[in-house]
Amino acid sequence: MVEALTAVVGARHVLVDPELTGAYTTDWTGRFRGAAAAVVRPADTDEVAAVVRTCAAHGTSIVVQGGNTGLVGGAVSAADQVVVNLQRLDAVTDVDPSTGQLTAGAGVTIARLHDAARDAGWDYGVDFGARDSATVGGSIATNAGGIRLLRHGDTRRQLLGVEAVMADGSVISHLSGLEKDNTGYHLAGLLCGSEGTLGIVTAARLRLVAGTDERVVALLAFADVTTAVEAAWTLRHDLPTLDAAELFLADGLDLVCRSLDLRRPFPEHHAAYLLVEAAGTSDPTAELAAAIDRLGAADVAVATDARRRAELWRYREAHTEAINTVGAPHKLDVTLPAPVLAAFFDEVVEAVRTVAPDARTWLFGHAADGNIHVNITGVDPADETVDDAVLQLVAARGGSISAEHGIGTAKRRWLHLARSPAELAAMRAIKQALDPSDLLNPAVLF
């Protein structure tokens, strides 16, 4: 099989030495450690199709991978599998500044996509902390949400069409970018969020959003979580230019400042913080300041210039790397309905304490859409007791067990908490129809 794969992509792009494959077989957090028969790096859609046919002929299943920044073990392979890494499919083509569309290869990073959109006088509506490594393909596979979802929606909303290699090696290509096109099943929408289980997305036609160059960031401090959460919802209603509303807590801020050697943002300590960004075509500072006045914040820091804005964002975005310095975390990315969101903060800490008294729970996330990242450190990577306690609580409160990271291999045990037997049967029927031999990401989702 390795010989046949080498004939397709060239010897340089088939890796079998564990020294070389290691970076592709361990996830970003270090919690999920896999292996691989080979890591293959095809250059284009035709090579991906040939790789799929080769693996199928050898009865070897495939794990699809982009920037390997996923947080649910969805791109971590086993010793008898082939990793198909798509980072070389990194072309941005057919940029159309008049309609605000472009085509991006699966391996284009989210940061590069933003640059390409801005070069065309537009912007891309989805953004998140892993932007420098995460890829278009991975963001489609997981239907990534991120920090601007409250304004521009999720990745699926940006998707006009895809090119994809199916499990039988056939290629579907729908990159014309027609805005109105109700002609049968929306296959791009189906592949988006399917976590590589139905087909391998190799390129996407993406809708861009109008550029909003005038930006202001404010960090607000609150005496309690309830006031901070309510502030996020109030801003969502009162401030049409709201681009992001991100929440974190006192212990998370302490950890970030300690591990990254950052100066604290305020002289006093506060229980909860809300990082808010407003963006428009004219300066939104006065509008933001007026909205903030009504929120009951204990302290406020405002930044208009790019350097200072980035400094304020750092307190929020550095949570992921700061938590990793404590140890490989269990990550439970969940959404709660608005009415129970604030109470969830205490409830989840208590739920974890009950089953793992020595664990630490870190809470932060996208407050305005109810998405909280529950990170738990001090627990063995393989011990799923805390995962079970948190996800059962989330389901009992009417929430989602995966807001934006996907199910991967990490949460498939709990999929039944989020989907009815009839929904699961429909999902399995789709998988069976499109990938009857279980060739693509067989350990993911089900």
Q: How far apart are CA 288 and CA 220, in angstroms?
A: 12
Contact flag: residue 139 with ligand 2HG (CB under 6 A):
no
Mask for 174-203, x = binds ligand 2HG (CB under 6 A)? ------------------------------
Which lies closer to ligand 2HG via its Cβ, residue 129 or residue 169?
Answer: 129
Among 375, 400, 402, 441, binds ligand 2HG (CB under 6 A): 375
Beta pairing class for 360-366 and 371-377: antiparallel
Q: What is the smallest separation between the CB atom of 406 and ligand 2HG, expressed in angstroms?
A: 11
Contacts of range 428-431, beta carbons closer than 8 Å, 24 or more positions apart = 430/190, 430/198, 431/197, 431/198
Q: What is the smallest separation between the CB atom of 32 and ligand 2HG, expressed in angstroms?
A: 14
Q: What is the smallest separation between the CB atom of 290 and ligand 2HG, expressed in angstroms?
A: 28
Mask for 63-102, x = binds ligand 2HG (CB under 6 A)? --------x-------------------------------
Q: What is the smallest separation between the CB atom of 2 and ligand 2HG, expressed in angstroms?
A: 35
Q: What is the smallest separation between the CB atom of 240 and ligand 2HG, expressed in angstroms?
A: 23
Q: Write down the H helix ranges in 96-238.
A: 110-119, 136-141, 149-152, 155-158, 187-191, 225-238
Site for ligand 2HG in 305-324 (CB under 6 A): 320
Contact flag: residue 373 with ligand 2HG (CB under 6 A):
yes
Mask for 331-360, x = binds ligand 2HG (CB under 6 A)? x-x---------------------------
Q: What is the smallest separation between the CB atom of 78 and ligand 2HG, expressed in angstroms?
A: 24
Which letter, b or e, does each residue of 280-315 get, where b requires 16 or more Cβ atoms within 10 Å of its Cβ? beeebbebbeebbeebebeebbbbeeeeebebbbbb
Which lies closer to ligand 2HG via its Cβ, residue 151 or residue 331?
Answer: 331
Which lies closer to ligand 2HG via its Cβ, residue 103 or residue 320?
Answer: 320
Nearest to 332 by CA among 373, 366, 296, 291: 373
Cα dihedral sign, 135-136-141-145: positive
Q: What is the smallest separation between the CB atom of 250 and ligand 2HG, expressed in angstroms?
A: 18
Task: Give SS3 for 107.
Answer: coil
Q: What is the smallest separation between the CB atom of 257 and ligand 2HG, expressed in angstroms?
A: 17
| Amino acid (1-letter code) at residue 120 | A
Q: How far apart are CA 264 and CA 315, in angstroms?
A: 9
Q: Output the CA–CA distances (angstroms, integers) from residue 392 to 126, 187, 364, 388, in the order listed.
A: 29, 32, 19, 6
Beta pairing class for 199-207 and 82-85: unpaired
Mask for 244-283, x = binds ligand 2HG (CB under 6 A)? ----------------------------------------
Number of residues near ligand 2HG (by CB under 6 A)? 8
Contact flag: residue 129 with ligand 2HG (CB under 6 A):
yes
Give the per-residue SS3 of 419-441: CCHHHHHHHHHHHHHHCCCCCEC
Contacting residues toward ligand 2HG, per CB under 6 A: 71, 128-129, 320, 331, 333, 373, 375
